[in-house]
Structure 1
């Protein structure tokens, strides 16, 4: 479609991305917004007559979020509830404008608390829209930004417990099944497993972004990040093994802050459990996903990490994920003994499933894309992060005998 044709008939195309999206409840309002878009020479638009539910469905299918979204609540029986559902599929960076019939200050304040930037009462005119949304050439930026994405720091209590597997599969599930925009950062500067787990190539984008953090913008990030489907984007590095390159902690903080403006979730796969970079991510995180296993050493390190995470100023919750990465043996701790040792119950338990894990790593796709006990457990972790209700709790499958060294661990905790 030509630029002129698109400007003259903005509702014809059904794009996979648009800069300006509007759903209006009546023909007169739709016509007014179309004329407004035409007056501003906005070629990348999608304007149509429809409900909030239509807008929610459309936004869930867009590969790239628009800069501005206009929705009409005039015919909605439960406007706030429907707007809350719409917010779930909207990236935090989107400027949302609500159209209604009532000039209600109380409603406007409630909408502001939800992250809406402007409320406009009908009837709509081109002059009114130009005055409130900006004249020709004006940048469509949010007046304020209440909503930001959620930073999830995924850390392992020790090497080999499956923290990277959890990070990769949860990121894939949130983006492909729940249709949220997800940024996944592999913090291993020498090449972590993320590209293998997701079947992608490393373009050393993390190194480039951290060196240019001062000029971050959506277009630059989109060019640098490696896409896995339409809504999952990966940042990783693969420096030479003899390289002296280290990650700039302050630049990483700025990067995470910028990514939270454009993604629902920013999941960081931490390359270790200590050091300035890892502690910075624990401090910035809204959720700490602590992956561990039922062993004496892992229990000791889990307790140390929990103390570190829980003494942060942010007071973000710690999601304790107990994984069984190896065939259960007679010397393993029972789950209830492990929980007693670390001082809290597990949030999720991942069962031993060597076939599913090895098949996913070597052949793909990720575990959660197929059916297995491990896939079901990983989906529960994703649902928990997304705030979905879990109908029933995972079964505790551990039945190992008590470990003879457990008493020493309990004495150490005391």
Structure 2
């Protein structure tokens, strides 16, 4: 846990305040409580005087709670708000998140839950570098569905994160993303949670909305609602990607759709674009059209890397045929091991973790070495 996290408690129930204080007592060397009060006005005085890193705020009324969260985050931008409530409604959670809360905790709060929340909120309080590292952004793309971009993106991210390297996995296939399904996650916060709070984007906020998957990567999933996807702009995508590159060593983006709008922003930000295709006539015809168009739009050929998915060595169309048609050398082939891949998706775990001896896993690990 980061050193010297300061915390204020605003809760009308004395027993709840005492419980939080008792829960935090074992961590007194790393967490200091600068004040514990029973009303918002008194809490504001503590915040003004003590500038705590974190405020634990009781919310019993959604409208008042949103106003109080907004007041704190607007006037004290360096202070993060953790909401404590007995209300389980997802509408409450999303509304308070959009108001600026970084975590929502249900009463009664256990010591482990509180410890994890503070670790999450405080992860970057004291470790933001003076100069942000320039992480490598790798986008995995095919214009339409069915080429396996999500399989490649998920397993590439898990492979890159295998040695403790900080890796972000972002679903920017905003209309038909599948990363949440592939990894069996149902996060409270998604891509639209970030874009709707874009003006307060910093390392602390970002880490609270990303989900750490057990396979290693920090995941930012696709929007839950189509209307949320429609409202996402290229400028918002650019700002998110720039910030991710400043926090993570590798940023892997799953994307698809037309060569316009958010996709062009992704490609312009990418160090490598893994154009994922298959050795079939329709796929190669489509790939030829799009690769030519991408080069015409100024995307250098050396940044466009061809990945052949579902590769069968004895298929009618060979790698050399594809290279001749597309004018690109094949960067990596991923073998067609249908049962291994589908089994991993059904279990919500990348195949490189679930079946490390699978030919698919070996190819994915080789791909990870190639992009480093």
Q: TM-score scaled by structure 1?
A: 0.56
Shift, 1:261, TM fit: 0.7
Q: 2:184 aligns with which of 173, 196, 199?
A: 199
**Further displaced range: 377-386 or 302-311:** 302-311
Cα–Cα, structure 1 residues 212 and 293, in superposed 2: closer, same or farther, change >3 Å? same
Equivalent runs, 1:143-292 vs 2, <5 Å: 144-145=131-132, 147-156=133-142, 158-175=144-161, 177-190=162-175, 192-229=177-214, 231-240=216-225, 245-292=230-277
Asked if 2 retains the 8 angstrom alpha-carbon contact of 1:213 and 1:251, the reply is yes
In the alignment of these two chains, the number of paired residues is: 258
Q: CA distance change for structure 1 residues 244 and 220 in 2, over 3 Å: closer, same or farther?
A: closer
| Aligned-residue offset at 1:246 | 3.6
Partner of 2:305: 319
1:333 match: 317
> What is the alpha-carbon distance in structure 2 between the residues aligned to residue 380 and residue 295 of structure 1?
23
Structure 2 Cα separation of the partners of residues 4 and 155 of structure 1: 47
* Equivalent residues in 2 for 1:340-379, closer than 5 Å: 340-369=324-353, 370=355, 371-379=357-365
Cα distance change on mapping 1:196 and 1:5 into 2, 3 Å: closer
Is the contact made by 2:137 and 2:272 (CA closer than 8 Å) also made in structure 1?
yes
Q: Is the 8 A contact 2:190 2:222 kept in 1?
A: yes
Shift of 1:271: 3.1
C-alpha contact 2:307 2:333 (8 A) present in aligned 1 = yes
Deviation string 1:227-252 (CA, Å, 9 cap, x unpaired) is 11385111123434577734211111
2: CA distance, partners of 1:153 / 1:340: 24
From the CA coordinates, give the structure whose radius of gyration is larger: 1
Aligned 1:42-191 pairs, distance under 5 A: 95=129, 142=130, 144-145=131-132, 147-156=133-142, 158-175=144-161, 177-190=162-175
- The answer to whether the Cα contact below 8 Å between 2:167 and 2:218 also exists between their aligned partners in 1 is yes
Q: Please list the CA deviations of residues 172-230 of structure 1 after superposition, one character each: whole Å capped at 9, or x if unmatched.
A: 1111x132111111123345210121221143420111111111112211121111138
TM-score w.r.t. the length of structure 2 is: 0.62
Tell me, in whole angstroms, the C-alpha distance in 2 between the residues paired with 1:169 and 1:4.
39
SS in 2 for 1:347: strand
CA contact (8 A) 1:188 1:270 kept: yes
CA distance in 1 between partners of 2:153 and 2:193 (Å): 22
The 5-angstrom pairing of residues 378-397 of structure 1 reads: 378-386=364-372
> 2: distance between equivalents of 1:279 and 1:296?
26
Give the distance between the partners of 1:161 and 1:244, measured in 2 at CA: 22
Cα separation, 2, equivalents of 1:317 and 1:302: 15
SS in 1 for 2:284: helix
Q: Classify the secondary structure of the residue corresponding to 2:317.
A: coil
RMSD of aligned Cα (Å) = 3.1
Structure 2 residue matching 1:288: 3-state secondary structure = strand
CA shift in 2, pair 1:280/1:183, >3 Å: same
Is residue 172–residue 255 contact of structure 2 (8 Å, CA) maintained in 1? yes
Q: Helix, strand or coil: the match of 1:324?
A: strand
Unmatched 5+ stretches in structure 2: 1-25, 33-118
Task: Write the deviation string for residues 138-160 of structure 1: whole angstroms up to 9, x where unpaired.
Answer: xxxx1x44x31111111025421
1:73-112 deviation per Cα after TM superposition (whole angstroms, max 9, x unaligned): xxxxxxxxxxxxxxxxxxxxx53xxxxxxxxxxxxxxxxx
